[in-house]
Amino acid sequence: MSTLAGIGRSTRRDPREAGLEAAKAARLPLGERLPHLLLVFAASGYEPRELFAGLQEAAPGCRISGCSGEGIITPGASDEGERVVGVMAVWSDAMRFDPVLARDYSADPAAAGAELARQVRALGHDDAFALLLFPDGLKGNCATLLGSLLPALPAGIRVAGGASGDALTFERTWQYLDGEVATDAVAGLLVSGAGTLDIEVSHGCMPIGLERHVTSAADGWVREIDGEPAWTVFRQYLDGAPEDLNTEGSIHLSVGEHVPVGAGSPDTSFVIRTPMALDKATGALFFPGGGIAEGGAMRLTRRDPLRVRTSARECAEQIAARHAGRSPALVLQFDCAGRGKQLFGSRTAEAIVQPLQDVFGAHTPWLGFHTYGEIAPIGDSTYYHNFTVALCALYERSADGA
């Protein structure tokens, strides 16, 4: 059994030409084989239907999954430009890849989760082991989606992924299913067969101050922390008593929800969440994708760029160490948009892409995108994260189960 994967990338301005160029390049390592899957992450600046015309010309009849991203990660590169597309072409006689899609995500996230679980079960794959999710990063409550989806999935399926993004304009994101381009949806990719998905997360944020408690919250808005307006508490950790959330210091400040999985490093002890909007009249902070739960305990955390770099590489090293020198069939990197050029400028690839790829070797097929939120497990529970990388390595499983 074998799994072959290739990577293609294009920055052509014409969307059809970009899709065609990237998909053709991705197909090269497969020889004459028609891919079973094109996994596609593209900047939102492309007209997506024209982009798909090029993809389908290069690989007619091929299944397609993916979404738009704030930036695209390919071997040795992190490109947050307005015109860039990354494509992974996959052929395998060991694993199967089935794209799924749930629409009207924001209207009823719980129903979207139930619909995805229904589609997964309808496929009838008893050997399914992974579900990759690409929800709209601007609409919908991902925490509610996961709360509905996870209990309804067949046992043994690990869930990970990233929320689709745009060019930090916060206008519209895209989700892909074969020839269809949707918005306000959740794209998914079910992986079945003789394989396993290994996942690690890191964020590089360090807790500061004392533990606090959320005393008023609903619908993604945290109104009060320890009985005070949330913004009043948050701005205590910012220099100069700013009047707005969008200050230089705020891009390094976030909230850490304690994960009850025992002692460990901050990267596995806290789920990081980031407020993206402020109601100045009330001091409430909005957390997209699902807010911090009322009554929950939390700590303020601050990003350390050096720790971001070292902990990201540690993710790759931990995965590699568990597989005794075996190479993964492919690796996917779902990395927060706030960990790209906003933090590292033009040196993003040097800081958080190339060091990870070096662990697995330059030959490893690698694709990812900068997300508006990450989905990954810590311990036995799956969470929605911010300011985090979810690193996912897909390995074949041999006949003896190794």
pTM of the predicted model as reported, rounded to 2 decimal places: 0.95
* Three-class SS of the chain: CCEEEEEEEECCCCHHHHHHHHHHHHHHHHCCCCCCEEEEEEECCCCHHHHHHHHHHHCCCCEEEEEEECEEEECCEEECCCCCEEEEEEEECCEEEEEEEECCCCCCHHHHHHHHHHHHHHHCCCCEEEEEEEEECCCCCHHHHHHHHHHHCCCCCEEEEECECCCCCCCCCCEEECCEEECCCEEEEEEEECEEEEEEEECCEEEEEEEEEEEEEECCEEEEECCEEHHHHHHCCCCCCCCCCCCCHHHHEEEEEECCCCCCCHHHHEEEECCCEEECCCCEEECCCCCCCCCCEEEEEEECHHHHHHHHHHHHHHHHHCCCCCCCCEEEEEEEHHHCHHHHHHHHHHHHHHHHHHHHCCCCCEEEEEECCEEEEECCEEEEECCCEEEEEEEECCCCCC
* pLDDT tens, residue order, the chain (402 aa): 599 999 999 999 999 999 999 999 999 999 999 999 999 999 999 999 999 999 999 999 999 999 999 999 999 999 999 999 999 999 999 999 999 999 999 999 999 999 999 999 999 999 999 999 999 999 999 999 999 999 999 999 999 999 999 999 999 999 999 989 999 999 999 999 999 999 999 999 999 989 999 999 988 899 999 999 999 999 888 888 788 887 666 778 899 988 876 556 677 788 999 998 899 999 999 988 887 888 988 999 998 899 999 999 999 999 999 998 899 999 999 999 999 998 899 999 999 999 999 999 989 999 999 999 999 999 889 999 999 999 999 999 865 555
Q: Nearest Cα to 271, choosing from 284, 280, 260, 263?
A: 260
Place of tokens 């402020």: 278
pLDDT (tens digit per residue) in 59-83: 999 999 999 999 999 999 999 999 9
Tell me, what's the pLDDT at 245? 85
Task: Domain ranges for the chain, please list them.
Answer: 3-202+308-396, 205-303
The pLDDT score that the predictor gives to residue 366 is: 98
What's the confidence (pLDDT) of residue 29? 96
User: What pLDDT is stored for residue 252 in this prediction?
Assistant: 81
